[in-house]
Structures are given as structure tokens and as C-alpha cells.
Amino acid sequence: MKRTSVSLAACAMFFALAGSAQSQTIQAGTVSGKQPAAAPAPAAAASRLDEVLARHALRVCTTGDYKPYSFLRPDGQFEGIDIDLAESLAKSLGARAEYVKTSWSNLMNDFVAKCDIAVGGVSTTLERQKRAFFTAAYMEDGKTPIVRCDDVDKYQTVAQIDQANVRTIVNPGGTNERFAKQFFPHAQLIEYPDNVTIFKQILEGKADVMVTDASETLLQQKLNPGLCSVHPDKPFQFGEKAYLLPRGDVPFQQYVDQWLHLSRASGEFQAVYDKWLK
């Protein structure tokens, strides 16, 4: 019995001393102002937003062949709805807009390799979404035909266009070509590389119809008397316009979306739109 009492007393003394030592260690740390080291915060992912702010330059990919959104003039200057808006975005970032000429066929590769944003009447598609982010859409704009005015009644429907004797002309590499290949498999498909002079081919009788975005048909009928847009208020399909941004870059996407929202709310966007389409 005496040995058991001694053992219990020894254990009690050991735990008392251990507790006292731990208490003294904590108190010493508190007195000296030292706290246990916190785990380092994860580093914020690099954003193109910070890069643009640092370099004071916004690199803008655009085709320059799509009025009224983006057009490269003979003097080497770009103009259009999306060019005016790209200048506004760059200004909000304290940067200058630097334009990179591309084509519809090379748009995605050039954007990923060379640019911070791509503008110029870019339609939203799932294929493009696989490689990039889109901003919020700034316009709804589906596909509709443009033809010689005498032929408006002949090309009202997809079925009327999808005939073996109909010459459908497209600019390669974009959504116009994809739409034509999908919906007009029986028509004669003419690929024409110059999206600026392509409408003259219809006027001159070298093609019968082009199906493109309704906004473009409305402008081209003004620029080319004798051509008429076919039911632009009731396009063949739903479509949207937006800007391309680097995939995964949420801070930059949020900034551009907020700039676009404020531009629309302030009336700036509408003023630019009216300048080119009214």
C-alpha cells in the first residue's frame, strides 16, 4: 500500500510540474509579445489587370474588316463602335490602346498569344469559350440575309436559300462560314476573303446572298444602295456580341464588366452606338 501511495504521489507531482512549465512558457511568450507563427496567406493569382496597369498599354486584337464594329482605314487607323469603346476602356486604366491586326481565322490564336482583349463584333460561341472568357454581352445580334433589293422575297427562309441554284457567299474563318456550312449544305458556297468588299460581289451579280449579323446588314444596305437587309428584326438565330478576355482571369473580367456596365448606365455606350448606326 505504501508503494502505491508513493507512485500516485509521484505521478501527481509530474503532471503538476508539466502544467506549471507550460503555463510559464505561454506567459513568457505573451510578455515578450511573440505569438505562434501564422500560416502564410496564399499568394494572389497574377491578373492581366495588374499587367495592363503596370505597362500602361492595353493590347487589343481586332480584324479591322467588320463595319460598324472595327474597320482599318487606308491610313492605317482603326475606327468603329468597338474601337471607340476600346479607347474608353484603355483610358479608364490609364493606358493607351495598342491594336493588333488579326483575321477571323487566326483570331483565337492571336488573342491568346498577343492580346489582353479582342474586340470588333465578336460573337459568343462555345468553341471560343473553351479558350477564353467573354465579358457580359453588350448586344443581341442574330444572323440574317442581305441580298439585292429585287430578290428580298426570294430569300426569306433558310429553305429558300438552301437550294442548288443559290450562290451563298461567306467570309472564311468566322461564324458566318460556320452558319452557312451548317444550314446551307445544298447551296453553292463561295468563300471570299475580303469582308470589306464582299458585299459588292452581290451587287455585281457574282453571288446571290450573304447571311451575316443583322447589325452589319443594316449598315451595308446604307453603304451599298441596291442591297437590302432581309427581316433584320427577326434573325434566323439568336446571337450575342461580347469581348474576349484571358481564360481564368476573374479580376480582369470583373473590371471590364464593371466598366461596360457603367458605360451603358452613363449613356456613353449608346452615344457610341448611335454615332455609327443611326
Q: What is the pLDDT of residues 50-101, one digit of tens each?
A: 999 999 999 999 999 999 999 999 999 999 999 999 999 999 999 999 999 9
Could you tell me if 246 and 132 are in contact, meaning their C-beta atoms sit under 8 angstroms apart?
yes
The answer to whether residue 31 sits within a structural domain is: no
Question: What is residue 107's predicted lDDT score, i.e. its pLDDT?
Answer: 96
Claim to verify: residue 165 and residue 208 sit in the same structural domain: yes
Residue 111 has pLDDT above 90, yes or no: yes
Q: How many domains does the chain have?
A: 2
Claim to verify: residue 106 and residue 56 sit in the same structural domain: yes
Question: What is residue 36's predicted lDDT score, i.e. its pLDDT?
Answer: 56
CA–CA separation, 61 vs 103, rounded Å? 9
- Which residues pair with residue 58 across a beta bridge? 97
The CATH number assigned to the domain holding 266 equals 3.40.190.10
Q: Residue 13 — pLDDT band, cuts 50, 70, 90?
A: very low
CA–CA separation, 206 vs 167, rounded Å? 8
The answer to whether residue 234 sits within a structural domain is: no
The answer to whether residue 209 sits within a structural domain is: yes
H or E element at residue 178: helix 175-183
Give me the domain span that covers residue 111: 48-140+239-277
Q: Count Cβ atoms below 10 Å from residue 36 Cβ, excluding itself.
A: 5
The answer to whether residue 32 sits within a structural domain is: no
Question: What is residue 173's predicted lDDT score, i.e. its pLDDT?
Answer: 87
pLDDT more than 90, % of the chain: 77
Claim to verify: residue 160 and residue 127 sit in the same structural domain: no
Could you tell me if 103 and 173 are in contact, meaning their C-beta atoms sit under 8 angstroms apart?
yes
Claim to verify: residue 188 and residue 73 sit in the same structural domain: no
Q: Which amino acid is at 53?
A: L
Q: Residue 43 — pLDDT band, cuts 50, 70, 90?
A: low
Claim to verify: residue 263 and residue 200 sit in the same structural domain: no
Question: What is residue 132's predicted lDDT score, i.e. its pLDDT?
Answer: 97
Claim to verify: residue 251 and residue 173 sit in the same structural domain: no
Claim to verify: residue 61 and residue 89 sit in the same structural domain: yes
The answer to whether residue 215 sits within a structural domain is: yes
Cα dist from 154 to 31, 151, 162, 255, whole Å: 91, 5, 11, 46
Claim to verify: residue 70 and residue 91 sit in the same structural domain: yes
Claim to verify: residue 150 and residue 258 sit in the same structural domain: no
The answer to whether residue 29 sits within a structural domain is: no
The answer to whether residue 178 sits within a structural domain is: yes
pTM, entire model: 0.75
Claim to verify: residue 71 and residue 124 sit in the same structural domain: yes
Claim to verify: residue 172 and residue 217 sit in the same structural domain: yes
Cα dist from 99 to 63, 162, 171, 240, 264, whole Å: 10, 38, 22, 23, 23
Claim to verify: residue 104 and residue 149 sit in the same structural domain: no
The answer to whether residue 153 sits within a structural domain is: yes
